[in-house]
Amino acid sequence: MSTDAVAKRIQPVRPAPNVYDAEPIPEAARAEIDRLLASGDLFRYTAPEGAPVARLEAEFAEYMGVRYALAVSSCSAALFLALRALDLQPGAKVLVPAFTFAAVPSAVVHANCVPVLVEVGEDLRIDMADFRAKLADGAQAALISHMRGHTSDMDAIMAACDALGVPVIEDAAHSLGTRWDGRKIGTIGKIGCFSFQSYKLVNAGEGGMFITDDPEIAARAVIMSGAYEHNWKKHPGLQNSFHLWQNKLPLYNMRMQNLSAAVIRPQIPLIEDRVASGRANHDYVAARLGASPWMAVPPALAKEERAPDSLQFLLRGFDSDEEARAFQAAADRRGVSVQVFGLSRDNARAFWNWQFLGDLPELPKTRAMLMRAGDLRLPARLKRGDLDFIADALLAAAAEVKDG
Ligand SMILES: *Cc1c(COP(=O)(O)O)cnc(C)c1O
């Protein structure tokens, strides 16, 4: 046996953890999916009552502690319906953090409104001075994207918006299970929107949820989501509001179908466990990276209880893009691929790539953050050995570039 082979037997190389796979679908979904396939009952409004989508809405509303939940085809659809349900006039200015996913300003454009991008600081949170200035400049709604699950100062945001009577929509696509001052994220603004796209805490491939306590907003959203004719009778409560809006609103057909609900429902009872494991995994890796002078993980705000399934960190003292790229390459060689938002071409989270908006503002704080913020998926199912593998790789990569 060659010395190489002996070394391999003594020290087996641990494979890099797979962080890309989505959450597996619970076995319990199968029987219901088989039943739906056998009956062909896939449309949410066919059954007189008890359709899987309607049950999911009731269960989600109960989990969130809100009066109304509407299941839709994606979080982007929920954001669009939220803007339409608020009856914003064409051309209305809507504040959006400049650190978000391209689909968020796109939903604003889709609703015929104008996104106003707000600076985000190196703590990955909304810059409140810029927010207040742009709010005072005639904004008619604020769409607060809790990007990568990072919660901005919701007390400050709500106080500023309430003072001017400006409604807040929460994009909680990536914040299911996060709390602010004990309250569930998505229930603080007038409307909360969630995603069940595969890379979120609950995986249905695609899907979204719209929640609110406001009966008029709920009724408008239900009709516009595609409850044509009298299908709204299959949504509990709200009957007077529905009569008011019947035939007065366009039907955008953004409904969820029963198969998606069958995939989502058995995952609802798993949310709290996934949140606890995700948070423990995140905090473990964050503490290990904190030992390096070259990386900083933004801490949670005092009132924030996070539910992370990914980790973001700032590269510190990396003066050039070349150095940051060398770090990425060094981590890659160790089996861990780190995205730096601003360094990859055509990144959908880098605001300068949102050319569909026309003239883009210069946002130096957000740009500086994006050029040095590393992004890493950290799904709840990872084990301690996986987490150490990732932390070891990042620490060694940073040391290789900065300490030589
Ligand atoms: C994923 C995501 C979206 C889009 O969700 P879809 O369901 O894919 O439309 C919007 N905002 C944030 C913060 C997201 O993470």
Distance (Å) from CA 205 to ligand 1 centroid: 12
Check whether 69 has a pLDDT greater than 60: yes
By the 8 A CB rule, do 187 and 181 touch? no
Q: Please check whether residues 74 and 171 belong to one and the same domain.
A: yes
- Ligand 1 atom with minimal separation from the 206 CA: 7
Identify the pLDDT of residue 14.
75
Give the pLDDT band of residue 237 (cuts 50, 70, 90). confident
- Residue among 251, 225, 250 nearest 54 (CA): 225
pLDDT (average), residues 46-52: 96
Q: Please check whether residues 137 and 65 belong to one and the same domain.
A: yes
Distance (Å) from CA 55 to ligand 1 centroid: 23
- Name the residue with the closest Cα to ligand 1, atom 13: 147
pLDDT in tens, 119-133: 999 999 999 999 999
Q: Report if residue 154 sits inside a domain.
A: yes
Last residue of a domain, one of 269, 286, 305: 269
Check whether 2 has a pLDDT greater than 80: no
Distance (Å) from CA 355 to ligand 1 centroid: 19
- Name the residue with the closest Cα to ligand 1, atom 1: 173
Give the pLDDT band of residue 9 (cuts 50, 70, 90). low
By the 8 A CB rule, do 95 and 170 touch? no
| CA 273 distance to own-chain centroid | 18
> What residue has token string 């050029």?
371
Check whether 349 has a pLDDT greater than 90: yes
Identify the pLDDT of residue 67.
97
Check whether 249 has a pLDDT greater than 70: yes
Q: Report if residue 289 sits inside a domain.
A: yes
Give the pLDDT band of residue 304 (cuts 50, 70, 90). very high
Q: Please check whether residues 240 and 287 belong to one and the same domain.
A: no
Q: What is the mean pLDDT of the chain?
A: 95
pLDDT (average), residues 200-214: 97
Q: Please check whether residues 256 and 303 belong to one and the same domain.
A: no
Q: Which of 75, 108, 312 to mutate to test the pocket of ligand 1 (most atoms within 8 A of CB)?
A: 75
Q: Using a 6 Å CB cutoff, which residues line ligand 1?
A: 74-76, 100-101, 103-104, 145, 147, 171, 173-174, 195, 197, 208
Q: Please check whether residues 341 and 214 belong to one and the same domain.
A: no
Q: Determine phi and psi for 104, rounding to 5 degrees.
A: -75, -55
Identify the pLDDT of residue 230.
94
- Residue among 219, 228, 257 nearest 72 (CA): 257
Check whether 334 has a pLDDT greater than 90: yes
CA angle (154 as vertex; 150, 157 as ends), nearest 5? 120
| Spatial separation of the C-alpha atoms in residues 351 and 340, rounded to whole Å | 14
pLDDT in tens, 81-93: 999 999 999 999 9
| Spatial separation of the C-alpha atoms in residues 267 and 203, rounded to whole Å | 8
Q: Please check whether residues 203 and 299 belong to one and the same domain.
A: no
Identify the pLDDT of residue 325.
98
- Name the residue with the closest Cα to ligand 1, atom 12: 173
Tokens standing for 190? 């007038």
What is the tally of structural domains in the chain?
2
Q: Please check whether residues 98 and 110 belong to one and the same domain.
A: yes
| Spatial separation of the C-alpha atoms in residues 141 and 169, rounded to whole Å | 8
Distance (Å) from CA 89 to ligand 1 centroid: 24
Neighbours of 223 (CB within 10 A): 26
Distance (Å) from CA 173 to ligand 1 centroid: 5
Of 224 and 24, the one with more pLDDT: 224
Q: Please check whether residues 226 and 130 belong to one and the same domain.
A: yes
pLDDT (average), residues 56-65: 98
Identify the pLDDT of residue 20.
87
Give the pLDDT band of residue 12 (cuts 50, 70, 90). low
pLDDT (average), residues 167-179: 98
State the residue range of the domain holding 366.
271-402
Q: Please check whether residues 235 and 349 belong to one and the same domain.
A: no
Last residue of a domain, one of 247, 269, 291: 269
Q: Please check whether residues 242 and 375 belong to one and the same domain.
A: no
pLDDT (average), residues 380-392: 96
Neighbours of 158 (CB within 10 A): 16
Residue 7, H or E segment: helix 3-10
Distance (Å) from CA 378 to ligand 1 centroid: 17
Give the pLDDT band of residue 399 (cuts 50, 70, 90). very high
Q: Which CATH number do you get for residue 394?
A: 3.90.1150.10
pLDDT in tens, 273-302: 999 999 999 999 999 999 999 999 999 999
Identify the pLDDT of residue 11.
55
Check whether 200 has a pLDDT greater than 80: yes
Q: Please check whether residues 135 and 117 belong to one and the same domain.
A: yes
Q: Please check whether residues 250 and 281 belong to one and the same domain.
A: no
Identify the pLDDT of residue 179.
98
- Ligand 1 atom with minimal separation from the 174 CA: 15
Nearest 10 degrees: CA dihedral of 149, 155, 157, 162?
Answer: 140
Last residue of a domain, one of 222, 249, 269: 269
Give the pLDDT band of residue 15 (cuts 50, 70, 90). confident
Give the pLDDT band of residue 22 (cuts 50, 70, 90). confident
